[in-house]
Chain A
Amino acid sequence: IAGITQAPTSQILAAGRRMTLRCTQDMRHNAMYWYRQDLGLGLRLIHYSNTAGTTGKGEVPDGYSVSRANTDDFPLTLASAVPSQTSVYFCASSPGTANTEAFFGQGTRLTVV
């Protein structure tokens, strides 16, 4: 693995089902992020993590949960998916503090039907 990896690439999910989007980075970055991208609304921050063991809420956290058990992994869980959660989800990581460069995964296209 080189960089940041998301899985799955795409998924069609029945409403009400639980789903976990996976994100793994091998750069030993402190900060990690989950964004959703909808047409016309840009990138909206769902949750973020300053460092392993800590998480914080972003702009649109409702319906999502995250955990940061270690430095490399930052999974995003939809406990009970709803159609409004249909979106493209991007995970990102950054060294943190004064280093502003975030590295993004290729995205997960999620469709909730």
Chain B
Amino acid sequence: GESVGLHLPTLSVQEGDNSIINCAYSNSASDYFIWYKQESGKGPQFIIDIRSNMDKRQGQRVTVLLNKTVKHLSLQIAATQPGDSAVYFCAEKKSNFGNEKLTFGTGTRLTIIP
């Protein structure tokens, strides 16, 4: 079936270390895979996306990797900071007009240890 899910519900990382958050997906027809960050008491915020025909995309301190062979998506955060503590969601969508369905996975809580 169509689903986006995560391997681990929680992750703790020492401040300054790199973190990797993983996500598995099952819908190979998705055009985009997206990462969102949700801080306590707020709505999710867009971090970065990757098109399905790419395997890597970098942003500021973040890198998303897509492995279509095993249907796996990861978000790497470099040199973590206390402000990175949040719940991270992967999401997927098609890109064609008239099909804007955007579905989310369960989420991973990242805690940065000072």
Contact = CB atoms under 8 A, between A and B. Distances in A.
B59 to A, nearest CB: 12
Contacts of B36: 102
A112 B8 CA distance: 31
Interface string B103-114: 111110000000
Interface string B71-114: 00000000000000000010001011111111111110000000
Contacts of B106: 40-42
Contacts, number: 77
A68 B97 CA distance: 17
A45 B100 contact: no
Interface residues of B, number: 26
A49 B101 CA distance: 8
Given A45-B104, A59-B103, A100-B34, A90 B44 contact: yes
Interface of B: 9, 31-32, 34, 36, 42-46, 49, 89, 93, 95-107
Interface of A: 30-31, 33, 35, 40-45, 48-51, 54, 56, 58-59, 90, 92, 94, 96-98, 100-107
